[in-house]
Amino acid sequence: MAVYPGSIEEKRKRSFSTTGLTFWLSILMLIALAVIVIAPILWAFSSSFRNPSDAFKLPPEWLPLDPHFNNYARVFDFIPFGTYLLNSVFVCTAIILGQLVTATLAGYAFARLPFPGRNVLFWFILSTLMIPIQATIIPVFVLMTKLQLIDSFASLILPAIVTAFGTFLLRQYFMRIPNEFEEAAVIDGANAFQVFYKIYLPLALPGMAILIMLSFNFYWNDFYRPLIFLSSNDKYTLPLGIVSLFGSLGTNSLSVVLAGVMLALLPVFVIYLVGQRYLIEGIAMGGLKG
């Protein structure tokens, strides 16, 4: 994969020098804060393997030396975890596929297909990035109620398949690709759609990867919209399911709740390991819409 000028990979080596004392003090701060930041995740991980009756026994255990795997099995007894998992996978996949289609089309048009009013429309789309979800969610809820789509996956998917940020992101990627590719293809007899589909789309794959990573991370973890749009238990997505597990079990079965939390984190973690550079590059561009 090409390393674009200005990407994180290209810049990582740039840095600035510090004196010895500052350096060691900052190392100390980094380690202290790293311990604080990692502690809740480590604690949740090791506690998810503790015997439920010992879960709150102090001092806390930081490594699961005597792992109780049946906490994980019991998650499936208390809540239909498999159903929630499938619901989350379905909703996320549908949203991401929809976004890939709409954002590559629009991004390509804004980068490479001159048409009257293009700049105005582009600024219009960018300006919608400023609008917080709070300013739209109530009318969208009303709309979904009137369409009788409330408590369906469609109410989560439909409003999410267009993305102003994704359009902007892919426009940037299409603009980076030199004109010569198009000119060569046209001379070879390619029509306008073939130029898009066969030449430019494959070259914009890194941009699409960034969009996939950002959207997956956001919609997998989304809690607010599912809380509002879904009401029946069997339609819940994972965060909603885990919070309801927490609500019903409370502190009685801490280990089981934490096992559920860990299970929900696992897919994001695996995908992060595969494509972290895309996620980080996307976030550096400001794409984590909370």
Partner 1 sequence: MQTELKPSSQSSIRKIGWLGSLTESSLAGMEKRKALMGFLFVLPTMLGLLVFIIGPVVVSFILSLFQWDILSDPSFIGTKNYTRMVGDEVVLTSFRNTAVFVLMAVSLQLTLSLLLALAIQQKRMRTWARYVFRSVFFLPLLTSGATISIVLAYMFQKEFGPINYYLGLLGIPRISWLNSSQMSLITVMITYVWHQLGFTLIVFIGGLSNISKELLDAADVDGASGFPRLWFIIIPLISPTLLFAGVVGVINALQVFSEPYVMTKGGPGDSSRSVVMTIYQSAFQNLEVGYGSAIAVILFLVIMLVTAVQFYLSKRWVFYQ
Task: Report the site for partner 1 in 18-47 (rule: CB under 8 A).
Answer: 18-19, 22-23, 26-27, 29-30, 33-34, 36-41, 43-44, 47
Nearer to partner 1 by Cβ, of 68 and 245: the residue is 245
Nearer to partner 1 by Cβ, of 2 and 273: the residue is 273
Q: Which of 85, 89, 140, 149 binds partner 1 (CB under 8 A)?
A: 140
**Which part of the chain contacts partner 1 (CB under 8 A), choosing from 68-76, 79-87, 153-161, 202-210?**
153-161
Biggest CA-to-CA distance, the chain: 74
The answer to whether 226 and 236 are in contact (CB under 8 A) is yes
Interatomic CA distance for residues 171 and 249, integer angstroms? 47
Q: Check binding of 233 to partner 1 (CB under 8 A).
A: no
Nearer to partner 1 by Cβ, of 90 and 162: the residue is 162
Q: Binding pattern to partner 1, positions 52-71, x when CB under 8 A?
A: ----x-xxx-----------
Q: Check binding of 143 to partner 1 (CB under 8 A).
A: yes
The answer to whether 50 and 255 are in contact (CB under 8 A) is yes
Cβ 168 to partner 1 shortest distance, Å: 11
The answer to whether 251 and 235 are in contact (CB under 8 A) is no
Which run of H or of E encompasses 132? none
Q: What is the DSSP letter of 79?
A: S
Residues in 191-220 at the binding interface with partner 1, rule: CB under 8 A:
191-193, 196, 217, 220
Nearer to partner 1 by Cβ, of 89 and 227: the residue is 227
Interatomic CA distance for residues 99 and 217, integer angstroms? 14
Interatomic CA distance for residues 47 and 152, integer angstroms? 35
Q: Check binding of 89 to partner 1 (CB under 8 A).
A: no
Q: Which of 54, 183, 188, 234 binds partner 1 (CB under 8 A)?
A: 183
Interatomic CA distance for residues 259 and 45, integer angstroms? 8
Residue with tokens 């919070």: 243
Site size toward partner 1 (CB under 8 A) is: 108
Q: Which of 91, 96, 109, 209 binds partner 1 (CB under 8 A)?
A: 109
The answer to whether 104 and 171 are in contact (CB under 8 A) is no
Q: Check binding of 14 to partner 1 (CB under 8 A).
A: yes
The string of DSSP letters for 133-186 reads GGGTHHHHHHHHHHTT-TTSHHHHHGGGS--HHHHHHHHHHHHHS-THHHHHHH
